[in-house]
Structure formats: structure tokens, C-alpha cells
Amino acid sequence: MSQVPFSKSLISLGIVALTSVAAAPVLAKQQAAPAMPASEFIEKFNQDVLPVVDEAGAAQWIRATYLTQDTAVIAAKASERYQAFLSEAVNKAKSYQGQKLDDDTARALNLLLLSTAMPAPSDPDKRAELSRIATDMEGIYGAGEYCLEDGTCMQLQEIEAILASSRDYDKLLELWRGWREVAVPIRPKYERFVELVNEGANEFGYPDLAQMWKSGYDMSVSDFEQQTAKLWQQVEPLYEELHCYVRGELSEEYGKDKVDPEGTIPAHLLGNMWAQTWNNIYDLVEPYPEHSIPDVTPVLVERDYDAREMTEIAEEFFVSIGFPELPETFWQRSMLEKPRDRDVVCHASAWDLNGGQDPRIKQCVEPTAEQLSTLHHELGHIYYYIFYKDLPALYRTGAHDGFHEAIGDTIVLSMTPEHLYKKGLIKALPTGDQAKINQQMQMALEKIAFLPFGKMMDEWRWQVFSGKTKAEDYNKAWWELRERYQGISPADKRGENYFDPGAKYHIPGNTPYIRYFLSFIIQFQFHQALCDAAGHKGELSDCSIYGNKEAGERLGKVLAMGASRPWTEAMFELTGQKEMDGSALIEYFAPLRAWLKQQNKDRQCGW
């Protein structure tokens, strides 16, 4: 996948899906006595928030699908009204802290205090300023393009297609540099954005936005930091083996003067604008070319699948495990193709509008294997919305945000070669150990290559929000983290006149990112549990739950829980475990890991 898609859930709008909670924040001021019992306050909020969210969601949808100055004004104003409503509700919620409350009410109150990724200051002028900045940053990104010397201008999707297929070192570098020019004007806006959201986080009772984000996981901030560090320690050795092998192959392709066989990998050579996934360079690192894995894309192109037909392929998988068909409004109101007459934000996203009654996706679908996987990912969000739509508003989100991102990707893990062959999406069924290694390599270039990027994105923002990284060091800190975690570096000097973090949508779009790191690990945990429910015997990588109602029933129970219970209970319901764990991922890739160790035995790994 070229970009990690995301979910626009209940309270979303530059505003992210509600998350699970840790301990309540420490408040700086004594709050006035509450006007009503806490349980009544929560019940009233769950009703009053719906029309406010509906208006703001509709405005944001229009903005994302019609990028004009007029829609920017409408979206900013709607977001401002929502932020005012939320700020008032949060201030009232604070007055109940310290009271003896039943578990359900206490949980709902804490969810309210953590209900936005973009806490706004209570000052009306600053709140309006924050809404304008957030809208402007997303608009700059969405309309961004790079123009060649001959006057030809390309938007991100077109540039990505070249990065995925070209092997011209200089051409790749030009386009990589070119897209990053788009982010330069975002930098001053982002600096002010950080000041404003930190002020908002203070009013919500947190030292800074980093602490607020890290409080949304039913555990203390320190426990969360330890948990994510432990998960990275589990998977890091596998990533280093993959990095070592890929670097060696790229060094042979481009020469040791371009790719140091013992150093970092130039960021523009990995087939992806952000080097977050590497599957587009599979042809350069394929273990056994004589046992190539058939590609879904040629079949989709040959059969001339349109956007709806591709979406129906994804829907049919969910229906096969007992999930309902998508509502007719989904087909009427989703944006599945890039319009020819206007700018839109093509970054794939799922939207939960009108109180769960109007789920839809926004995606510029093309007939490729990558886009087909993305559609499954987005429908994972959509079915989450459908299953929890009857819960109170504060509970209409995932058990934690990583759960929401993991559901569709868990289904993608069941799209095995055998499944694709049976569905007629590939023309031959690869067999044998060498085909297995090829298959796992292709998967690892997406799933394993992504892990360090998924972690360092928010590591950077946490340092920015906490003040550890100053505004004058944004780019320096960004590339230090990318080298530390990913072992990649830019091919040229990237000074502070650039804003390379802003060349990734989730920074100007203010979408927290650690959720993707968590989801790329727990999706294998989910897959293992669902395969057990389906009675699968054999290697985990060979399992598909397609057509298995028992697995679907188990998954559906967890989706229906939403955020009504701590994520540990949802995890136990699905897997029988109460912790996030990378063991299933390691088991899934066991054949490839053994092969990589053999290939790298004479190489100097690390960087």
C-alpha cells in the first residue's frame, strides 16, 4: 500500500476516532460543582453531540471531495463549532472528576476527555485560528503537485506510480525531492498548530498533546511506552534481517557508490514516497524469479474491473464470513473514483457519517492489487461502524485505534494465493518451498518494512509536542529517527528550510500514527485466533478464513463491543490473550526469517 489509509470516525474532523482510556488527567484548576448527575450528563452528551458531529462530518466530506476556497471556509467554520461544543463539554466533564462513579459512567467521562486528537483552546479566536490552520494544511497537501521543467505537473498519485515502477536513480531522486517542496509552506502553519493544540491539551488536563495521545490505551503513559517498546523489540530482529538483504540487492542494482552495502538505504529507492513499504521493488529483490508469484493486477486490468466491481470483491469476502451486505447508501454516496473536474483528497479513508447510518469511503480506486488490498482495509472500518452503530455515541469506535486499523488488514491476510486462485484473480497457483519464500518476501516488504516507520512517525510528533524537539530542528530530528529506526537516509542534504515530515499526509492531517504500528502487529494475532476458530491446520501463512461463519461470528462480537469495554477484554474475546503480542507475526514469517539468515550470513548487517 502506498499510503496508509485511515478512518474518519464519530468525532473525527482533524479530530480522530475516540479511543480507550487510561487514568484521568491531572487538572490545573478547581472545577465548579456539576449541574446534574454524571450519568445524566453522559446521556445528554451522547444525544447532543450527534447533530454537531453530523454537520461537521458533512462539511469535512465536502471539503475532502471538493477542494475549493469556499469548502475550506465551510469546513473550518463547522470544525470551529464542533470544537466549541467539545470544549464546553470537556469543561463540564472535568467537574465530575474525583466523584465516586459507576464503571460505565467513569469510562464514558474519560473517553470524552480523550475524544479529540486536536484539542482546541477555549479562547474563541484561538479556536478559530486552529480550525483555519488545520483546514489550510490539509488543503495544501491535497492540492499539492510537482511540475517538471517542461511544464508538466503531476499530483501525488501520478508521482507515486513512477516511484513504484522506475529504476532510474536520478529520476526517482528528482520526484522524491519535488514532492517535498509541497510541504515547505506547511511548516510555519504547523509550528503555530503545535502551540495551539498544546494549549488545548493543557485545558483538557494534560501537559502536552503527546501525553494526551498516549493516555488513550487503558493504561498509564509509562506502561504504554513500555508496551510499544516491547513490541518493537520483538519484531526488530526480523526487520534488520530484511533490511540487510534488501540493501545488498539494491547495492548490486545501483552500485556501491549509490547504496553502501554496510550503511543506510537512500530513501528514494524503495518504491514508495516515504519508504514506508517496499513491495513495489519486489522485482529487484525477488528470491526465486523462476517461481514468480502471479500478480492480481493484470487480471483486474484484463477484465476491465471498474471501481465498484473492485469494491464488490472486497464486500463479498466480508459477506462470506456472515457479515451483512453494504447498505445502498454506501454505493450512492461513496467517492470511489477520482473526479476529472476538480481537486480532491485521494488519500483513502473510511467515513462514519449520520450517526452510523451513512458509512462511506473516499478512494481514487484503480485496478491494481494494492488498491484491492486498500479496499479490504477500508471496508474493515466500514463494518466496524456497522456493528457498533447502535452503541451510545462515546462508544462508537474501536477497542483502541489499532483495532480499527487492524480489522480490514486481518482479512487481507486471508487473501492467500490459494484463495486468489479459487476466486480467479490469479491465473496459476504457485506451489513449493521456493514459491512460499517468494510469497513471504512480497508480504514482508509491506508488513515488516512498515513497522519502524509506523513507530517513528509518532515518536517524532511526541518529541515535537513535548518540546523535546524545537521548531528549528524539525527536519534534523525527523531524519535522525528515520535513520535510527529504519536505516534509511536522504540522498541529499535536507536542511531546516524543508519540512519533510509534512510530505506525509498524516502530519498536516493530524492523524495519530502509532495505531498503524500496533495494527500491523495485532492483525497477525487476530489472524491466528480466527484461523484457530476456523479449524485451520498447517502453517499460519496458508490460512484463509474465507467462507467461515465461525470465524466471522467471533470477529463480529468484538466489532459490536466498540469501545464499551477496555481493549484488553476485546482482545481476550477474540484471541484468549490480554496483551498485544508479536509472536503470531514472528510465527507467520518463520520460513522467510530462516531463509534471510542464510542469505545474510556473509553480509555485515546493521547500519
116: Cβ–Cβ under 8 A, 6 or more apart, which residues? 11, 15, 16, 83, 86
DSSP state of 154: E
Active-site option among 348, 399, 435, 570: 348
Nearest to 505, CA basis, from 183, 198, 271, 210: 183
Active-site option among 243, 268, 381, 527: 381
**Does 347 qualify as catalytic in the annotation?**
yes
Active-site option among 377, 400, 404, 527: 377
Residue 353 dihedral angles phi and psi, to the nearest 5° = -110, 160
Active-site option among 378, 385, 393, 534: 378
70 SS3 class: helix
Nearest to 17, CA basis, from 413, 562, 448: 562
291 SS3 class: helix
Residue 330 dihedral angles phi and psi, to the nearest 5° = -60, -45
349 SS3 class: strand
**Does 405 qualify as catalytic in the annotation?**
yes
Q: In what order do the strands lie in the sheet with 349-353?
A: 6-8, 349-353, 358-362
- Residue 390: CB atoms within 10 Å: 12
470: Cβ–Cβ under 8 A, 6 or more apart, which residues? none
Active-site option among 347, 376, 400, 536: 347
Q: How many CA atoms lie within 13 A of 124 on its CB side?
A: 2
Active-site option among 146, 383, 485, 516: 516
| Residue 429, CA distances (Å) to 235, 296, 438 in order | 30, 12, 13
Residue 578 and residue 571 in contact, taking contact as beta carbons nearer than 8 Å: yes
Active-site option among 506, 529, 536, 563: 506
271-295 burial code (b ≥16 CB/10 A, e <16):
bbbbbbbbbbbbebbbbbeebebbb
AA identity, residue 143: A
158 SS3 class: helix
Q: How far apart are CA 603 and CA 96, in angstroms?
A: 60
Active-site option among 80, 138, 241, 405: 405
Nearest to 512, CA basis, from 3, 131, 17: 17
Q: How far apart are CA 192 and CA 149, in angstroms?
A: 33
Nearest to 191, CA basis, from 471, 431, 394, 442: 471
Q: Cα 385–48–89 angle (5° rounding)? A: 100
**Does 348 qualify as catalytic in the annotation?**
yes
**Does 506 qualify as catalytic in the annotation?**
yes
Using CA atoms in the order 396, 402, 404, 405, what is the torsion angle rounded to 10 degrees?
A: 150
Residue 531 and residue 584 in contact, taking contact as beta carbons nearer than 8 Å: no
Q: Cα 559–563–569 angle (5° rounding)? A: 80
Residues taking part in catalysis: 347-348, 377-378, 381, 405, 506, 516
